[in-house]
Chain A
Amino acid sequence: GAVVSQHPSRVICKSGTSVKIECRSLDFQATTMFWYRQFPKQSLMLMATSNEGSKATYEQGVEKDKFLINHASLTLSTLTVTSAHPEDSSFYICSARFGGNEKLFFGSGTQLSVL
């Protein structure tokens, strides 16, 4: 099956710093990548959808200046949490799909803790 690699798996940072999370599709070209946020024992909350070479489409209520998403190539998308605060602490997960295929492949997630 298709593999999506997400790094880092865990990051602890101080309040006010920025954190970058990488999501790579290892064996396919990801035309669309999705970024989710998940709180403990809750469902996946879609933050944004990005298509290669285009600006990301953010869901209502998600600050695009705080959560910067770049999808510069067909195999890499990044999420940068700028000026992180404790309330940004969460589990962030990326997923990718290719072409017209509806199968969604997920990264292993990143646990962000902001002190």
Chain B
Amino acid sequence: QQQVKQSPQSLIVQKGGISIINCAYENTAFDYFPWYQQFPGKGPALLIAIRPDVSEKKEGRFTISFNKSAKQFSLHIMDSQPGDSATYFCAATPTGNQFYFGTGTSLTVIP
């Protein structure tokens, strides 16, 4: 059973556009929601993370929107650049001892 559902599977965005990736979860015990960026042949890197006590967190061009009642959270990449082309994974954890990853979104930003 997929604990964290992620969509879309792939995304193509024009340079300068906004990329939006969505995730949903069911387990209300989750209290930490990170997003990871992975380039081909590399391990994932922590991009940004949020806790359920806030509805939005912004770091540069990356923003997480969190809807606790809907049990959904999303990553917004503003002014998308070709260098943002990568696979993005959302994740959730209740304690930090077990992480549940989404299935990943392959983002391609077209120049």
Contacts and interface: CB of A to CB of B under 8 A. Distances in A.
Interface of A: 1, 4, 6, 32, 34, 41-44, 46, 49, 91, 93-95, 97, 100-109, 111
Interface in B13-68: 32, 34, 36, 41-46, 49
A106 B45 contact: yes
B101 interface: yes
A103 B50 CA distance: 11
B103 A42 contact: yes
A104 B43 contact: no
A37 B101 CA distance: 13
Contacts of B45: 106
Contact of A107 (B43, B93, B97, B99): B43
A6 B103 contact: no
Which of A6, A44, A91 has the most chain B CB atoms closer than 10 A to its own CB? A44
B42 A103 contact: no
A111 B40 CA distance: 11
27 contacts: A1-B46, A4-B43, A6-B43, A32-B97, A41-B104, A41-B106, A43-B89, A46-B98, A49-B97, A91-B41, A93-B43, A93-B44, A94-B43, A95-B43, A102-B49, A102-B95, A102-B96, A103-B46, A103-B49, A104-B34, A104-B46, A104-B96, A104-B99, A106-B43, A106-B45, A108-B42, A109-B43
Contacts of A41: 87, 104, 106
Given A102-B32, A102-B96, A105-B46, A44 B41 contact: no
Which of B36, B41, B44, B102 has the most chain A CB within a 10 Å cutoff?
B44
